[in-house]
Amino acid sequence: MPKHVLLSLAILLLLYTAVSSPAQAQWKPIGLSGGGGLFAAAMSPTQPNRLMINCDMSAAYLSDDDGMTWRMINHLQLVSSTQCSPVFAPKDPDTIFAANGWAGMKVSHDGGAHWTDIGDLPGNLQGEIAINPIHSNEMLVGSNGDCYISLNGGFHWTRCQGPTGTPIAFCFENDQSRYATSCYAATNEGVWRSDDEGKTWIPIINGLPPSAILSFCGVSNPRDGLILYCTVKATALNGGYYGGIYRSTNRGDSWECIDGAGLNLETKAFDQWAMGSVAQYRYVASSNANPRIIYASNSSTGVPPPHNCTIFRSIDAGATWKPVFQADPRYPNCNVPSDYMVDANGQYFQDVLVPVVDPNNPNHVFAFMNGCCYVTTDGGNKWALCFIRRAPERDPSNNLAKWICNGLVITTTWNFYVDPFKSNIRYICYTDLGFARSLDGDKTWEWWTRRGRPPWENTCYQLAFDPRIPGKIWGAFSDVHDIPNDNIISGRHRSDLPGGVCVSTDYGATWKPCSKGLPPKATTSIVIDPRSPVHSRTLYAGQFGGGVFKSTNGGATWHAINNSLGSSENLRVCRIYLHPDGSLFALVTALRQGGQYQMDGVGLYRFDLKRNAWTWINRSHPLYWPKDFSVDPHNSKIIYVGACDAQGKKQGGLYRTVDGGETWKLLARKGPQTFGAYLSPFHSGYIYMTLTEDAPGAGLWLSKDNGKTWKPINDMPFGNVQRIAFDPKKPNVIFATTFGGSVWEGPAGF
């Protein structure tokens, strides 16, 4: 076997081992990693390659190899926080403190495998958790808009009298000669110091402009003493730059501006893509190992350097600066490897980076932004990717790079498919990333090419495969994501963006629109009638706000079939299904107006061929907010619907009818929002139930007795599970798509 093949196999084996903890070793994340919002990271002071980071889709992650691989912390142990950075204990390598979502603090004493509640904080944590590196029982944190101090290792907390505003960051003075600890707290309204272990606080803002504080860090050691850094919101004043980065070397008694040479101090936007006309320094970071080495990151005043978002480094406490991060291959001095988005698009889509510096090594920096993270060990001369791994080979058919999942999975997935003709080809329908495929049975993944993408790139909801023509696939695409979850139903995200249907004849490598006759609305579902003629396939498409459309010529043209479907106000179709017996079903999901759920039009419908009209089949048991449904493939009268609590009614649960909708029974309720039920094709009576959003426990449940009893699948690391898919050749394996945690491959539970 060639050496490069052996090396690839070794890497894959190492990755599989690294991203799985012993409790969840049977579950493996697959697909493209990265992709979602990253927040609140920390580096260990005792293990230099140990990292922790949070995402905006409920999961927190740990890495023991400097971000090359990650493992998700089981959601039953810890929920992520986007507002408060965790902290590793300064002396115990196995102890970590972290915010548990919106519900206080937790601690782990076994390296992040298990977490327990600690302390009496009132609620939502903010800013960061800080520990005194000398007296580790002393801690600071923000909570519910106030600053709190603990003197007994986090068991009891006292509100700090003095600091006001939203907490940002804290530090302790690293001086063993001082009996009473001096500590510092920064909020968006200012900086404060306490010289008596938090009993009293004084503002230390002399020399700071009256602008909002954006970031703060304090670093010290016996050799260099204490240096405080902060950044404030900058403005254009009298034709110059006012604000930016400030430093104090006298414990905050006075501050001086350190907008030194080399920084972006522009007060006019360079191009139309600028984040603003004035560069804002959103984050500042340094290290106790050398307080004079400092990093600061900025918002852009334009795309090309020197106007771009970057990280600046100073080795002289801010007197001079040098940019050390450039990820766009179109411009000189690019020192960041291309990821799958840059590789396919040919450009880097920048955002403000958040630098985190190793407490013991100022040249070791971890940096992250929306969906991406990087690490450098040489002060920013070169960076490595921390959210995806490039495979050694490319796809010879289109020269696309292949990518290995490294466990940092922050993507919403709607459906997972095994190709019906080539089982080694797999497909994932994504939010934000759109679509990806694997040509080697999940080992590596490739993202779609710039040429050949649909006009609607954000989301692919569903695929339909031609049963006779290998490689021919239709897809439902949309620029609206999260249908039918709460972001859309509650109106937090726009729902009026376009979508449509596309077709591929090369196993999903490229796509062409085939949407003539479809209104420009989010297309959520696509099904094919396998009995239709090969060269004039009958297709059905569901649209969010448009209803159901039919094509009898393979998607070339479409016409509406909305007679008696939904209502004039609600044609928000989120799923359609064509049963083997020819029955066509459509689900119209919730409509919320003025904070109130509207019942009119919502429901599950079956198409009546004789009347050429739809029949509302859950009329006997109306639901305000159904999410998904499944029909028994052997009997179209047996139907399952997942629903959510709404309008003050506890309707959340899984419902079943065995008589085509005349009567319904609540089969199970395990939380306020049930997504759906999915029937095993291998074992009669096996039903998988999924819960997406607000699940109080497991997000995946299994019944082995046709719904009589249910058991949670607690080893599934991610909580917001959406659909379950199956591999026809692997009866002992299931694939779970999730709302924010990619696709997980795990045991079927036989």
In the sheet that 354-358 helps form, which strands lie side by side, from edge to edge?
A: 354-358, 361-369, 372-376, 384-385
Q: Domain segments of the chain: what residues?
A: 412-695
**Cis ω before 484 (30° cut-off from 0):** yes
pLDDT at 184: 97
Query: Partners of 408 in the beta sheet?
Result: none
Global pTM exceeds 0.75: yes
- pLDDT means per 10 residues, the chain with 750 residues, are 40 39 72 94 96 97 98 97 97 96 96 97 95 94 97 97 97 70 94 95 96 96 92 94 97 97 97 97 97 98 98 98 98 97 95 97 97 97 97 86 96 98 98 97 95 96 98 98 97 96 97 97 98 97 98 98 97 98 98 94 95 96 98 98 96 98 98 98 96 96 98 96 96 97 93
Amino acid 718: pLDDT: 97
Please give the pLDDT value at position 398. Answer: 80
DSSP E strands in 132-255: the ranges are: 139-143, 146-150, 158-159, 167-172, 183-187, 190-194, 202-203, 213-221, 225-237, 240-248
DSSP β-ladder status, 311-314 and 372-376: unpaired
What pLDDT is attached to residue 257?
A: 97
Q: What per-residue confidence (pLDDT) applies to 181?
A: 73
**What are 87's two structure tokens?**
């902290």
Q: Name which of 103, 65, 71, 68 is nearest 84 in CA terms.
A: 103
Dihedral (CA of 175, 181, 186, 189) sign:
negative
Length of the chain measured in residues: 750
Q: Are the C-beta atoms of residues 719 and 694 closer than 8 Å to each other? A: no
Pairing of strands 523-529, 538-543: antiparallel
Q: Which of 146, 223, 218 is nearest to 183 (CA)?
A: 218
The residue with tokens 């260099």 is 224
What is the pLDDT at residue 178? Answer: 55
Beta carbons of 749 and 704 less than 8 angstroms apart: yes
Domain spanning 412-695: CATH 2.30.40.10 = no
What pLDDT was estimated at residue 19?
Answer: 41
Predicted pLDDT of residue 610: 86
